[in-house]
Amino acid sequence: METTLRGVGVSHGVAIGEVRHMGTAVLEPPAKQIPAEEAEREQGRARQAVEAVAADLIARGNLAGGEAQHVLEAQAMMAQDPELMADVDRRIAVGSTAERAVYDAFASYRALLANAGEYLAGRVADLDDVRNRIVARLLGVPMPGVPDSDEPYVLIARDLAPADTALLDPTLVLGFVTEEGGPTSHSAILARALGVPAVVALPGAGEIAEGTVVAVDGSTGEIFVEPSQEKRAEMESAAAARRAALSATTGPGATSDGHKVPLLANVGGPADVPAALEAGAEGVGLFRTEFLFLDDSKQAPSEEKQVAAYRAVLEAFPEGRVVVRVLDAGADKPLDFLTPADEPNPALGVRGLRSLLDHPDVLRTQLTALSKAVEGLPVYLEVMAPMVADRADAKAFADACREAGLQAKFGAMVEIPSAALRARSILQEVEFLSLGTNDLAQYTFAADRQVGAVSRLQDPWQPALLDLVALSAEAARAEGKSCGVCGEAAADPLLACVLTGLGVTSLSMGAASIPYVRATLAKHTLAQCERAASAARASDSAEEARVAAQAVLSGE
């Protein structure tokens, strides 16, 4: 009998197939005491397991490339964290086995994060995965990971760690569903990069029996268990129509009446450029430079290394626009040389531009590297600061750019509600705004972007969030300046129309989403987008806003 479940759709497309569940490692090893003379041997076993897991994560990253590579390299650094290893050694010295010491040391660190209010919830999920991999190696049991199957399937898991998501084979994994996670979690972002339909935050998904046929709609978040032949035909027909529309629409982003909306790509480095070019990106709307810094949490990369990485991306878009975000460290991206280690609420502390203003040498080196990287290139470079709170922040950043001799436009990210509310003031110091809707939602609703339990408040369709977008766009229009969106909201084709109607001047997203957004924009006029935006803002919930906008755009 067909039943319908609803989670959060995070990656477009339809998948129909049998369920396979994610394999898991034994999570808790037995507690037993070892003789003192075995401690040194056990410490050696623990170190070997840690190094093997770190090497495996790095190898997976090298295979995956792109943004996934940076995420996995960060996970490898987590595995080798010296404080964690010192704790493991201490526990073994007082009688724990290697596997139990690893389990307990990671549990202790996990508890510290939880007591900090779970502001590092995204890293907690990664930490659990690293722990499971090390313990599994020590116990000699299978690693957690995707199941072996010769036939395509829909994968169901409690959550998917980056190491698993990065190497999903799209020819076998038709789509995936997770019980936890949110629309801006690592898994969701990597799913969009892979082009695999995905639904997250679906409680009870793990109870769907192995082998059950399900139909997954990664756009709506709907899961149909044991779908009827009529439902399967309906979804397959809709998916075929969507593919046809994608292939028929090419060129720059625009509404059906010719209103231009440049479609840009979010990238983490040179490895992400080929996919962006293949998707027809008109430039880069968000170059996340922090991945370059995460290679070594102890020190900043040299100026020469930065110049090479920046130039590789800039060269790929001659005559195009490349928007670079300077280092956004802190919260779930801590760096030992830059961010405080003892903040009670890191997401509300010294992160983003605040960290850089506290370490002007790091900012100066990055701006100088960008200045050298763009020399002689016919590209439109724009550089923006993360976590700008007010005009003083914007001025400090613009002054630093000028002092470094940077020939580029300077901009500010709108991620804090105060920046949206005072956007005209900020635009007295900078030349453009870029809305980071992921963090803007987090700070607007006091809802951690990595916690599935509050994913309702992370929904970018929330009318309050649309109000802040409208305020920013209206301020930019009044000042004759641009206001783009580089958060994950831009990857939703329907929402892209609403954002255009709100006055947003460009949209930046993962490369896999660009064709969907291009095709949807091309079907509607600017006036329709504006009416849809008004209808969405007049609603009282995210779901009502989505339905209202859809009704306008479908002519109902």
| Residues catalogued as catalytic | 186, 486
Please tell me the distance from the alpha carbon of residue 494 to that of residue 516, in angstroms, as a whole number.
9
The two structure tokens encoding residue 226: 């044991």
Q: What is the dihedral of CA 191, 197, 198, 202, to 10 degrees?
A: 180
The secondary structure of 241-291 as a DSSP string is HHHHHHHH--SS-B-TT--B--EEEEESSGGGHHHHHHTT--EEEEEETHH
- By CB atoms closer than 10 A (0-12, 13-18, 19+), residue 182 is buried
Helices (H) and strands (E) counted in the chain, each on its own, are: 22, 16
Backbone angles phi, psi at 381, to 5 degrees: -85, 130
Residues with Cβ < 8 Å from 143, sequence gap 6 or more?
25, 133, 136, 137
Select from 539, 529, 520, 525 the least CA-distant residue to 502.
529
* Neighbour-count burial for 276-292, b at 16+ CB within 10 Å, e otherwise: beebbbbbbbbbbbbbb
The two structure tokens encoding residue 376: 């002689």
The two structure tokens encoding residue 111: 């508890």
Query: Which residues pair with residue 157 across a beta bridge?
Result: 178
